Amino acid sequence: MIRRIIRRIFRKPGRGASARRAVEPAVIPPESHPVRREQISPGSRRVCETLQHQGYKAYVVGGAVRDLLTGATPKDFDVATDATPDEARRCFRRSHLIGRRFQIVHAMMGREIVEITTFRGSEKDAAKTDAHGRLLRDNVFGDQSEDAARRDFTINALYFDPVTEQILDYHHGVADLRQKTLRIIGDPKIRYREDPVRMLRAVRLSAKLGLFIDPETRAPIREMAALLANVPAPRVFDEILKMLTSGHAIKCLSVLRDEGLQQLSLLDAALNEGEKFILLALADTDQRIRKGKTSSPAFLFAVLLWGKVNAAWRRLCEEGEHPNPALSQAMSDVLHAQNEKLVINRRIAGDIREIWALQPRLEQRSGKRAYGVLAHPRFRAAYDFLLLRAAAGEISQELPDWWLAFQEADAKKRADMLLPGGGKKRRRKRRKTENQASHAEESHAEKNSAKEDGD
């Protein structure tokens, strides 16, 4: 303990931070806000208590505090501290360091994993940017006020102390939240240039929390939208995925369009080719998520790209290609072209292919095929997809109705429901092609083993 106190006294100011004067936060006492320590996850609460007991500062920070203030349920509880990653790790028996440049600590608290981040310093101290001004490094430790200043929006720079139940508010985030305003910290142009993803976060958070984007925060977005092209694709992918699964996808889409941001993502091109289908699917997803259900990324991307696949499939069929290989070709072409814009990870791509490949198989209701389709691990997702196609007027409602009845029927009724197959010769020929197609799918599925269920 004494060694730690001495080390703190002689610690270099802000670990690479400049001698900028620390900004004092407003301290909001428990009687002036509704957040209570019981609302914080047990793990993050214990992490804060332990770190504080060891003489460090420790707070629950960011999205969790913001969400609790608005009455929303936080997705996760992150802890910020002035302990270095090594110091923090030593406080918890079951913990390890993650990341190379800016290390964070994962502490296992029972079954919960709590992410512990050391206060980060000013972005100006990181000083390494690409040709467009985008920050390439963000790995300098700092003091708490610097940590607050490098966060994106005022409502995300709130620190909740589970011991005292005080909130430390460095940038008037609580007032902004009360006034339903999303405001960036600092000069918006500089902050977007440093990290263009903040423009997407502005859209998502304003849609999710029902906030107005402050005019100064909003103004530069349109002219700076193009900077998103320089951001590594996986980050854009993650953010788009967060939008689609936020429960407010439709709203996000409309704000993206209002702000001129839609072009960067696959959303714009996708909407041109299947607007009705996509809007129906997103409205459906929003409802599911608001009811606490999940929606798989594969399903969402299968929806977004279906218009293109469908068009390419039809074209190949018109050119005389057999439907099954034509679909396979169309799927590969679209996924390949898509990867040049926004990389979809391989596992998700495998699931997307399965949902698409099951569509023509759902149209075949004779012989034993229907049983095979019903037993397929992606049947549920493929059936939901079929329902949407019917709702969009792409196919007759009779088909999903038949499948609903088939799922609910007993063995005898199922056998009666099957449509008569074609002649023997034709059937054998068709079966061969279908076997080839399903074999290809199965081997694809094997490659992508360890999959989570789509629904």
Both structure tokens of 192: 């977007």
Does 69 interact with Mg ion (rule: CB under 5 A)?
no
Q: Which of 295/310 has CB closer to ligand ATP?
A: 295
Write down the least CB distance from residue 5 to ligand ATP, Å.
29
> Looking at 82, 152, 169, 351, which residue binds ligand ATP (CB under 6 A)?
152
Torsion of CA 126, 130, 135, 138, to 10 degrees: -50
Does 242 interact with ligand ATP (rule: CB under 6 A)?
yes
Q: Which of the ranges 59-67, 112-120, 188-196, 208-216 carries the binding residues for Mg ion, by CB under 5 A?
A: 59-67
* 78 is a catalytic site residue: yes
Helix, strand, coil shares of the chain, percent, nearest 5, are: 60, 10, 30
Q: Which of 67, 82, 143, 152 is catalytic?
A: 152
Binding at 172: pick from Mg ion, ligand ATP, none (beta carbon under 5-8 Å per type): none
Q: Which of 161/384 has CB closer to ligand ATP?
A: 161
* 238 is a catalytic site residue: no
Write down the least CB distance from residue 420 to Mg ion, Å.
56
Does 125 interact with ligand ATP (rule: CB under 6 A)?
no
Region of 130 please: left (phi>0), alpha (psi -120 to 50) or beta.
beta
Closest residue to Mg ion using C-beta atoms: 63
Both structure tokens of 157: 């720079």
d(CA 243, CA 261): 13
Write down the least CB distance from residue 173 to Mg ion, Å.
15
Does 151 interact with ligand ATP (rule: CB under 6 A)?
yes
In 3-state terms, what secondary structure has residue 364? coil
**From residue 153 to residue 182, what is the string marking binding to ligand ATP with x (rule CB under 6 A)?**
---x--------------------------
Q: By CB under 6 A, how many residues form the interface with ligand ATP?
A: 12
Query: Are 330 and 312 a contacting pair, CB within 8 Å?
Result: yes
CA angle 76, 81, 87 (to 5 degrees): 115
Write down the least CB distance from residue 65 to ligand ATP, Å.
8
Binding at 274: pick from Mg ion, ligand ATP, none (beta carbon under 5-8 Å per type): none
Residue 364's CB: how many other CB atoms inside 10 A?
15
Q: Which of 67, 78, 161, 169 is catalytic?
A: 78
What are the start-end ranges of the E strands in 84-166?
95-98, 104-109, 112-118, 158-160
Question: H/E element holding 328?
Answer: helix 323-341
Binding at 111: pick from Mg ion, ligand ATP, none (beta carbon under 5-8 Å per type): none
Does 158 interact with Mg ion (rule: CB under 5 A)?
no
Q: Which of 76/455 has CB closer to ligand ATP?
A: 76
Contacts with 220 (C-beta within 8 Å, 6 or more apart), sequence order:
188, 189, 192
Does 198 interact with ligand ATP (rule: CB under 6 A)?
yes
Write down the least CB distance from residue 78 to Mg ion, Å.
6
Binding at 195: pick from Mg ion, ligand ATP, none (beta carbon under 5-8 Å per type): ligand ATP
Place of tokens 């290390």: 103
Both structure tokens of 410: 């007993």
Both structure tokens of 136: 């390439």
Does 248 interact with ligand ATP (rule: CB under 6 A)?
no
Map the footprint of ligand ATP across residues 33-92, applying CB under 6 A. Answer: 62-63, 75, 78
Report CA 130 to chain centroid distance, whole Å.
25
Does 205 interact with Mg ion (rule: CB under 5 A)?
no
> Looking at 195, 214, 286, 354, which residue binds ligand ATP (CB under 6 A)?
195
d(CA 226, CA 196): 9
Q: Which of the ranges 173-181, 192-200, 248-256, 422-430 carries the binding residues for ligand ATP, by CB under 6 A?
A: 192-200
Does 66 interact with Mg ion (rule: CB under 5 A)?
no
Report CA 3 to chain centroid distance, whole Å.
43
Binding at 361: pick from ligand ATP, Mg ion, none (beta carbon under 5-8 Å per type): none
* 76 is a catalytic site residue: yes
Torsion of CA 189, 191, 196, 200, to 10 degrees: -100
Write down the least CB distance from residue 87 to ligand ATP, Å.
21
Binding at 151: pick from ligand ATP, Mg ion, none (beta carbon under 5-8 Å per type): ligand ATP
Contacts with 285 (C-beta within 8 Å, 6 or more apart), sequence order:
244, 245, 249, 295, 299, 300
Handedness of CA 34, 205, 59, 154 (dihedral sign): negative
Report CA 196 to chain centroid distance, whole Å.
17
Q: Which of the ranges 62-70, 132-140, 251-259, 322-330 carries the binding residues for Mg ion, by CB under 5 A?
A: 62-70
d(CA 184, CA 233): 23
Both structure tokens of 348: 């998700």
Handedness of CA 245, 246, 249, 252 (dihedral sign): negative
Residue 340's CB: how many other CB atoms inside 10 A?
8
> Looking at 25, 63, 142, 196, which residue binds Mg ion (CB under 5 A)?
63
Residues at the contact surface with Mg ion, assessed by CB under 5 A: 63
- Which residues are known catalytic residues? 76, 78, 152
Residues that bind ligand ATP (CB under 6 A): 62-63, 75, 78, 151-152, 156, 195, 197-198, 201, 242
